[in-house]
Chains A and B, each alone.
Chain A
Amino acid sequence: MSDEMREALEAVSQRILEEAAFFFSDPMTDSAKRPNEDWDPVGIEMSWEGDASSGTIRVWSDTALLVVLAANMLGVEEDNPKAHTQQRDALGEVLNMVLGNCLTEAWGPGPVFQLGIPHPADQANLADDSNGGFWLVAEGLPMLFWVGSGS
C-alpha cells in the first residue's frame, strides 16, 4: 500500500462513510479483533490512472452492513426492497467517493485522474488485502479497505 494513499485512506474513509451513509466508524487498531478466515464479505474494486499515480482500490464489507449502508444512502427503511437490491451498488458508490476524495487528499487538486467503474472484487485477493489493508469498524461490523499503486 503506498504511503500517500494509505494516509489518504485513513483521513478520508471515515468521513465519507459518515457523510454519505451516516456510518460512524473507527479504525480497528486491535488486530486480534479482525474476523477470522471464515469471514465471507462482499468485495468491490476499481482502478484509476493518471500521470501522478495509478492503481487499484478495493473495499470489503461484512454482508450484514450492506443493507444498512444502502438504506442509509437512499434514505429508506432497511425493509424497503431497494435497500436489498442496491447493496452492492451502494458499496461501489462508497468506494467511488472514497477513491475520488483520496486522490485529491494524496496528490492535491492539480492532477487529473481517470477513474474506472466499480466492479466485484476477486475473492482470491481477500487474504492478502486482510494483511495489508486498513481495517475499520462500522456499526460494530468489520470493513476493510486496500489500495495498491501501479497498474
Chain B
Amino acid sequence: MVASISLSIDSDLDKVSLLARAVRALCEDFLGPDDLDAVELSLVEAINNVIKHGYHGEKGKDVQVAVGLQADRIVIDVIDHALPMAAGVLEQASDDPFTFDETDLAEIPEGGMGLALIHMNMDEVEYVSNESENRLRMVKRIARPGS
C-alpha cells in the first residue's frame, strides 16, 4: 500500500489547525492515539515555524504538506518557499530545551520548543533546502502489533 496526498494552505496561523486535523484524519487507520497526537503536534510546530520564522508572519504565501502513506511508515513533508533555516538549526534543536531547573522560574522556556518537540515526536527528521524550495521531512514508523 502506497498512497500520497498533497494539501496546501495560505501562510495564516488561523488555517494551521484545519490542515493538521486533515492530516490526523488521514493517519487514523495506521497509528494509535499517542502517535496521532505526536504527528499532529509535529506538523503544527513545523508549519508554525514556517509561517512565523520563514515568512515572518506574512499571509498570502504558500505552505504545502505532502503525506505519503507507506506500508511501514508515514512520511510527511512540509514544503515552503521562504528563506531557508540556517544550517545546523535543526541539529542544534535536538539539544533538549526541557532540561531546565523547574525551581528557577526564569529558566522555564517560553519559546524555542518547536523543533525539539518535532525531534521528540517523530522517528526521523531531515531538512533539505535547494534553489526551488525548503522541505522538512518527518517520518513516523507504523508500529506493528506484537513487534
> Does B bind A?
no
Question: Which residues does A use to contact B, with CB under 8 Å?
Answer: none
Q: What is B's interface to A at a CB cutoff of 8 Å?
A: none
